[in-house]
Chains A and B, each alone.
Chain A
Amino acid sequence: MASAPSPTLRRGLRVVGHGIREQPRWFALAVLGSSVYGVMTVATATVIGKVVREVVGPAITARHVSADQLWYAGLLLSAVTLVNIAGIVVRRIAAGITFNNLAALYRRRVTRQYLRLPLSWHHRHPSGQLLSNANADVEATWQVFQPLPMALGVIVMLTVATVQMFLVDPVLAAIGLLVFPMLFVANLAFQRRMSPLVTTSQQLRAEVSEVAHESFEAALIVKSMGREDHEGARFTHVTDRLKNANIEVGRTRGLFDPAIEGIPTLGTLAVLAVGTARVASGQLTAAEVVQIAYLFSLLSFPVRALGWVLAELPRTVVGWGRVDAVLQAKGVMQYGDRALVHDGASRVQADQASYSYDVSREDGTVTKTSPAVRSVNLDVLAGGTTALVGPTGSGKSTLASLVLRLIDPDSGLVRLDGVNLRDVVQGGVPEVGSLVAQQTFLFDDTVRGNVTLGAPASDDEVWHALRISQADGFVAALPQGLDTRVGERGASLSGGQRQRIALARAVIRNPQLLVLDDATSAVDPSVEQAILAGLRELGSSEVGNSADHSPGTTVLVVAYRMATIALADDVVYMENGRVVDHAPHQQLLERCTGYARLVTAYAREAAERAAVLADEDHLDATGAGA
């Protein structure tokens, strides 16, 4: 950290500079409006002085006033007011638009970045925090643009006023000018004290959002275990910390606000005292002192706008720091320029691919876990079906993610039809391959939207995909059929229904490579059978409606059930991130004990139970016979 006079001021101004460059027109308009306002505010004082000198004073002395004179006075004052107000309107609206445009722009940038950053980055950042970055932090960054134009207008105002005062009386003007350095010093001190407080408060704001987000996501668990009070206590804890931090902020503001307000007033009083003395010694007229005193009293309120801007700067800097961290986050996936061929089933190869997850520690450092996938070699032949089997946590999902380039291997490489995935153009892999993830995710959208994901598709195509995934029956029964909204994450559907919609989403794309990660875990055995039968046809038969329907699909399926495995031409058995062996099912069953133990678990269990039951029956029988 640099230890320059005021890093906050410097950094804050730099952020403001960014903002101005993004929205130069609206900002300029706001400043223009504000300058008009600044000039006109001073002009009000001058015009009142002028009217009093030229119209009111003489009229009273003459004990007569003409209608023309009154019109002149009235219209002049009204005109100044109108122009002043026009300036205010322009300033406020343009400032509001500048702020809102900047906020929208950065919300777009931040969320774009969320979409661009790799999954590994997402794993390390709580959703609540990301939500806060896109909302509260963006807002905190640009909020300064609301008072900023006014403050700049005030600077114009001060310049005009200073010139005027100097023209009237340099001595009084000098006294007035003394006020400005005092204000500046007070503001700087204020900012110094505020920066750390605001940083804490903004951090806690994000934490409150994190806790709330997580807790609401966990609502079902919280409810079913009766832990509402516990969650309440957790939320109370962060909320209280935020409260205390904000009170601390308030204490500091409470101290400085009145001081900053009082300084210009003291200036006015000094002007009056000294002014009177100068009138007495004949160096000034009374009217001149009044004019300057009036100017001062006019200025005392707007001058505080400078304070508002300075008070906003710490939030700007803190907010920007948090927003910029997202914008600057490294590791955005790089794409190559090679297209994938679109003629038939794809071949997938992994060559010594390894992958370790990042985990962030308490202290913010990031370390790697032990590899979830270790030096995996894999060759899934085009058009075939390969089953991926392995105990819980053995790395199957990780491998599936590697194959579709949701993540990049730390070492080694993955090829699709001979092309290294890293060299494929952006969007190339999803065009060719589809993943049905283990964890179903549905959008808060209609059934149709969830299946097509926005791609153009006819109703027939959608229904066809739903039929293959055995979802046509229940979708047809939904109140609005394809146009029924499924609620957030598909809340209005049963687990198996959600899973089948996710499956249809993959099927409709006629992928050359279909990766099913335990994608039928929530459906009953008979439906699963039907799905598998449908999928088997997907590759071979000419069922699609489009002319360019792909002639074949390679299927990589993570499965435990024998029926699914039996469908496969090849079975890959994983343990601890390694591929232990691969061979057709029967062969593997004979030669790989781990595999055999895993896939025959139910059968062994059933056999054992049968044996126990038989024993019991036997005992019962003998017991009865005895």
Chain B
Amino acid sequence: MSPATRSRPVPDATLIESSQQLSTWATLRRGLELSPELRKGIGVTVMLALISTLGRVVVPFVVQQTTDRGIMAASGPDIGLVLRLVLLAGCGVVLTAVTSYFVNVRLFRASESGLATLRIKAFRHIHDLSMLTQNTERRGSLVSRVTSDVDTISMFVQFGGLMLIVSLGQLTLATVLMVIYSPLLAAVVWLCFVPLFFLIRRFQGIVGRAFTQVRERVGELLGAVSESVVGAATIRAYGVEDRTATRIDTAIENHRRASVSAQIKAVAAFTSGQLVSGLTTAVIVVIGTVLAVHGQMTLGELLAFLFLVQLFTQPVQTATEILNEMQNAVAGWRRVIAVIDTPADVADPADQGQSLPRGPITVVFEGVGFAYPGGDPVLHEIDLRIAPRSRIAIVGATGSGKTTLAKLLTRLMDPTVGSVQIDGVDLRAVRFSSLRSRVVLVPQEGFLFDTTLLDNIRFGKPVATDDDVRLALTELGLDDWLAGLPQGLRTDVGQRGESLSAGERQLVALARAYLADPDLLVLDEATSAVDPATEVRVQRALDSLSRGRTSITIAHRLSTAEAADEVIVVDKGRIVERGPHRDLEGAGGVYAALHASWVAQQQGA
């Protein structure tokens, strides 16, 4: 997809920004802050790691000492010394192995715990983001932020971070030893490496950007794949498999290109380290020979120094490798942090908020207007008071703003101007725990979880027993339907509820809201796919049982409006009429016209 077509009809304000502005350091710092486990006990781990490095360094050192003072000793090979040294090195190896084991285990535990925390935080925060922010990103892409993006971090935090510290330690140790042997040569080695350090800095930026690209492409890839999976039926019905395949292929190819390009850049960064290491060895041999010729060091010392150079170059190479890995991790980390740091603009006031007592509920809209981000206002100056215990029907043409009204009412979004209140309290000041138990919306697009009927119906009220659920279904007049299911409440509804028919899915969604027993039930075309006989039955059940509760029903089938206490007519974002059906029916307004078409439909045109 070209960049132009990827833009979405929403301004940046609500987007989950890629927080590319966050520098590498800031990312690491924020990352550690979000996963405190990564730092827990790190002192001990670093200690152990240094010990194991010490053990690791002992070996080449012993090799060098053995050759220098044991085998090449002026007085002939000193077997005793060699054996002692070899034994010492053997102990070093064992020490390294044992400490490494503990280091590894500690690191794995810390990093996996830290990353699990990060995943969970990101996941939880995605649910806290406002509906509009969630919609700015494809679901597949959101999934990648809690799965593969986090996975890219794991490699680095498991080994990389620590290895970086250890490498620094080894670098220092090697430098000290080199200075002891020959300060001059040590200076030469450092001189050779200085340009590399500058080079690495430059490469970091380049490699980092390349990996960021890769992470973004992964998100797009998952978005494309997700669409082909979720839209399977539509794709088949229209025979557009080829077109979908082309779209996916583009995403796959873009991702492949980005990955290869990132890898090439990383290789360039890595080999610069190797190159400098190799050339340094050559330089040392040459200068060392000159020094030795002038009697400033022995052959043994020169050879020993070459070992030390290796001891020095190896951590440098490791470090360049790890820095690449770090850029990869940072790219993933940024995307996860971006989610977590995106403000939830429709936030739970939590402890600052009020908990309202249950009971009959009054709803007030005061001068409410709403515009979707970047769009024209879709609701204007809505003033409305809904009395407790009333049955309200909202009707209006498609696109007139009914669903928007319902979403404001249930605080899935906040109004652009004005305020929505329940029992005299602005919704923004009501605790979610209180609000969600009092007000429940059954949205136009119902969604069921891939589990049993039972678990779906008691989603809003997990403490409900089988009998509670059965009773709810009976009250709604759905017991016959339940009886027809071979596995009853244990029936699996399939992913998204697709093992049920569309009408059945709506009935389950309705039962789910009904069981949650709110004070205000908002039904947004919740029975649009249900057959008329069942709809009438369910609606009647709801009416007779909802006496204590307010219900607001949005429906295009005007049978609900006919039965409501009051009808609210929305047209082009304004409330144009309201009153009981009987009054509006003959008023010659919008409702009268709508109703006339409805009646015409009922009579068969």
Contact = CB atoms under 8 A, between A and B. Distances in A.
B211 interface: no
Interface string A209-248: 1001111111111111111101110011001101100110
Contacts of A294: 63
A208 B154 CA distance: 16
B347 to A, nearest CB: 12
B189 interface: no
12 contacts: A111-B225, A111-B228, A220-B131, A220-B443, A231-B127, A235-B146, A239-B120, A247-B112, A254-B102, A259-B97, A439-B502, A523-B398
B399 interface: yes
Given A56-B299, A65-B293, A262 B237 contact: no
Contacts of A497: 398-399
Given A78-B282, A130-B229, A609-B562, A232 B158 contact: no
B289 A55 contact: yes
A279 to B, nearest CB: 5
Given A122-B232, A250-B158, A85 B271 contact: yes
A320 B53 CA distance: 37
A404 interface: yes
Interface in B57-96: 59-60, 62-63, 66-67, 70-72, 76-79, 82-83, 85-86, 89-90, 93-94, 96
B525 A495 contact: yes
B557 A224 contact: no
Nearest to B146: A212
Interface string B1-40: 0000101111000000000000000000000000000000
B435 interface: yes
B128 to A, nearest CB: 7
A470 B502 CA distance: 24
A391 B558 CA distance: 19
A522 B528 contact: yes
Contact of B97 (A130, A132, A219, A258): A258
A283 B563 CA distance: 110
B440 interface: yes
A70 B290 contact: yes
A132 B462 CA distance: 29
Contacts of A184: none
A103 to B, nearest CB: 7
A359 B495 CA distance: 11
Given A60-B292, A70-B286, A216-B126, A602 B460 contact: no
Nearest to B277: A81
Given A236-B120, A261-B100, A479-B9, A272 B63 contact: yes
Contact of A496 (B252, B314, B399, B540): B399
B226 interface: yes
B230 interface: yes
Interface stretch (A305-313, A414-422, A480-488, A538-546): A480-488
A221 B443 contact: yes
Contact of B108 (A209, A254, A427): A254
A163 interface: no
Contact of B225 (A131, A243, A521): A131
Nearest to B249: A108
B127 A437 contact: no
Nearest to B83: A273
A286 B259 contact: no
Contacts of B536: 601-602, 604-605
A485 B100 contact: no
Given A111-B225, A216-B142, A232 B71 contact: no
A7 B364 CA distance: 69
B361 interface: no
B492 interface: yes
B127 A232 contact: yes
A355 to B, nearest CB: 13
A139 to B, nearest CB: 8
Identify the 6 closest CB pairs spanning chains A and B, nearest first: A226-B436, A250-B108, A496-B398, A81-B278, A430-B239, A254-B104
B531 interface: yes
Given A601-B536, A602-B602, A123 B93 contact: no
Interface string B545-571: 000000000001111001100000000
Contact of A279 (B77, B146, B412): B77
A397 B529 CA distance: 11
Interface in B318-375: 372, 374-375
Interface stretch (A11-19, A340-348, A549-557, A558-566): A558-566
Interface string A446-464: 1000000110000000000
A253 B500 contact: no
Nearest to A61: B299
Contact of A85 (B278, B525, B535): B278
A214 B279 contact: no
A131 B292 contact: no
A454 B534 contact: no
A188 interface: no
Contact of A434 (B228, B238, B288): B238
Nearest to A290: B67
A392 interface: yes
